[in-house]
Amino acid sequence: MKRIAAEKALEYVEDGMIVGLGTGSTVEYFLPKLGEKVKEGLNIVGIPTSHRTKTIATRCGIPLSTLTEHPEIDVTIDGADEVDPDLNLIKGAGGALTREKIVAFSSKREIIIVDETKLVQKLGSFSPLPVEVIPFGWYPTKLCIEREFGCRAELRREEENPYTSDNMNYILDCEFNGIEDAEKLEKELKSIPGVVETGLFIDMVDTVIVGTREGIKLLEK
């Protein structure tokens, strides 16, 4: 289901475009297909959202650049952890939420590729909300989030150590059991000193390509 969604996304990439490249296993089906098109003569430049995507895209022969060279992106193809009926998202299980959000914000068109298990009625129903925080004072930041929002905020770990993002920050995975007002939560979380970014993507998405058992389903804003 992830693979067919990723293949469909190729149709949105045109010659001459600057293309934002998301992060995650669904995007990793997309990158080799895009690489094949480049080898056949498609002229595009990719802007990766993570070190991992940069490495894979390079291996696939996709020419890459930066937001400094290309501050405006034509289309971005990225994955998501949850998609609600208004096409708002939770992202960041792969840890790239901050770069993904900057790239999405710089994109004329944001296209999300998911399998059908990612569709939810309410964000935060199944996935924790990742919140990127600076390492300094991460513990009082965690306590503040837990106190203010009544959630559990778990420091993401990699074996024994705290997981660090490409920005050298920590991630708190916040369990909400359903988020009532995602827009309000986003604003309130961002007002806490130490919070860098949240995995809530509100009103940023144009199209969601859903791979289902029956084939492709398109959700448009």
Catalytic residue list: 100
What is the x/- site pattern for ligand 5RP, positions 10-39, by CB under 6 A?
Answer: ------------xxxxx-------------
**Stated length of the chain:** 221
Q: Does 94 bind ligand 5RP (CB under 6 A)?
A: yes
Q: Does 194 bind ligand 5RP (CB under 6 A)?
A: no
Q: Does 91 bind ligand 5RP (CB under 6 A)?
A: yes
Q: Does 48 bind ligand 5RP (CB under 6 A)?
A: no
Round to whole Å and give the CA distance between 106 and 100.
10
Task: Give, as ranges, the residues between 61 and 90 that touch ligand 5RP (CB under 6 A).
Answer: 78-81
Q: Does 198 bind ligand 5RP (CB under 6 A)?
A: no
Q: CB 180 → ligand 5RP: shortest distance, Å?
A: 22
Round to whole Å and give the CA distance between 85 and 120.
7
Cβ distance to ligand 5RP smaller for residue 26 or 207: 26
Q: CB 50 → ligand 5RP: shortest distance, Å?
A: 7
Q: Does 128 bind ligand 5RP (CB under 6 A)?
A: no
Query: Which structure tokens are listed for 160?
Result: 């024994």
Q: Does 96 bind ligand 5RP (CB under 6 A)?
A: yes
For residue 62, which amino acid is it?
Answer: I
Assign residue 25 a region (left: φ > 0; alpha: ψ between -120 and 50; beta: otherwise): alpha
Backbone φ and ψ for 192, nearest 5 degrees, come out as -85, 125
Contact at 8 Å (CB) between 197 and 182?
A: no
For residue 133, which amino acid is it?
Answer: V
Closest CA relative to residue 171, chosen from 124, 200, 130, 139: 130
Residues engaged in binding ligand 5RP (CB under 6 A): 22-26, 78-81, 91-97, 100
